[in-house]
Amino acid sequence: MKELPEYVARAKESLYFSGAKISEQLRAFYAGQADACQELGRAERERGFDQIYLLGSGGSSATMETAKYIFDGLLDVPVEALVSYEAVWRRPARLNSRALVFLSSYSGETEDAVAALRYAKERGARTVAIVGKPESTMANEADVVIPYNSGAIFEVPVAALVLFAAGYLEADAPNERVEKLRTSLLALPEACERTLAGADERAEEQAREFLSSNHIYVLGGGPLAPLAYKLAMSVVMENIRIGSTYSEAAEWRHGPVEALERLRPDVIALLGTDESRSLAERSINFCRSRDARVLVFDAAEFGAEVDPLLTPLVMNSHTQYFVVYSAILRGITDLDERVFMGHRILSGGEGWP
């Protein structure tokens, strides 16, 4: 495709290709909101709450699951991550005036997230909206707003919540683990710049290798499991427009592996630097032994300075490069346009999603 460089250059201006400018987007967020996020953590600890809910839909659901994985190892308060409408339908008893509810939506208008916000407020919960659009329904109706003006719709909300946790924990004795995590978080712009050097060449080669794929299985474990889910369910299918299936890397051997008796799958594996690594490697090695075509994104290549819990915030950009090249090589050259999303499909007359 002789127009490939032109299409890639255009893609790098797309809202959704945040990986092409993630370093500057993170720096801008830190400069404008890092102190406010930490101050929110201090203020909410003083105010007091018994439960945290993390709510989002689509890709934002995976964002909130990533934050929950981090929160569970740091905070002494119960944390639940739910898809936005699930929070309404499930009617959790602990979603009450003693709950703190974070909601993530780039537009601030997502039908599901607006409904969850309003339900949480009806239950008396305190609400915090992390939104890309400060002039939006969610920004106007939430108790607290954390705004950002970039396409880093996965990285920024996770960063905001990590900084919130750091502020929340400041009242305790000095915590070496939390300080290490915060230091690693603030150094992510440099880590992204360093690891993404040569990303275009690698991504084009990877995309061409998988150009014949019509279905890709995506495996990931530990802190990378939510990103693997996001990649399969709201990136590969949305942008490359082929089939995709997510499997937690360790769970691949509990059932799905039997399909390899007759199937030679195409697999993307996200390999972390945490305790999940060894089991993920076993799944990868078995797939290769069955002649599967496997593309591995390995967080060990990011360097020891990237905390294992934060590897998704770097890896997301690497997978985006692969997806962008894959889409363009298949003739999908406008990354901001959608066939169904945003065209009042399945929406009951409202904008969707």
Going residue by residue through the chain (353 aa), what tens digit of pLDDT does each one get? 668 999 999 999 988 899 999 999 999 999 999 999 999 999 999 999 999 999 999 999 999 999 999 999 999 999 999 999 999 999 999 999 999 999 999 999 999 999 999 999 999 999 999 999 899 999 999 999 999 989 999 999 999 999 999 999 987 767 888 999 999 999 999 999 999 999 999 999 999 999 999 999 999 999 999 999 999 998 999 999 999 999 999 999 899 989 998 999 999 999 999 999 999 999 999 999 999 999 999 999 999 999 999 999 999 999 999 999 999 999 998 877 766 665 444 455 554 45
pLDDT at 170: 86
Q: What is the pLDDT of residue 172?
A: 72
- On whether the CB atoms of residues 120 and 127 are closer than 8 A, the answer is yes
pLDDT at position 340 is 62
Q: Token digits for 229?
A: 């889910």
| Domain 4-14+191-329 architecture | 3-Layer(aba) Sandwich (3.40)
pLDDT at residue number 343: 45
pLDDT of amino acid 334: 84
Q: Considering the chain, tell me which residue range(s) the CATH 3.40.50.10490 domain(s) occupy.
A: 4-14+191-329, 18-186
Residue with tokens 């949305």: 238
Query: Looking at residue 348, what is its pLDDT?
Result: 55
Q: What architecture is the 18-186 domain classified under in CATH?
A: 3-Layer(aba) Sandwich (3.40)
CA angle 154, 297, 272 (to 5 degrees): 75
Q: How far apart are CA 191 and CA 9, in angstroms?
A: 22
E-assigned strand segments in the chain: 51-56, 79-83, 99-105, 126-131, 144-147, 215-220, 243-248, 266-271, 293-298
Give the per-residue pLDDT at 352: 44
The pLDDT, as a whole number, for residue 1 is 67
Distances (CA, A) of 98 to 68, 77, 120, 125, 210: 18, 11, 11, 6, 49
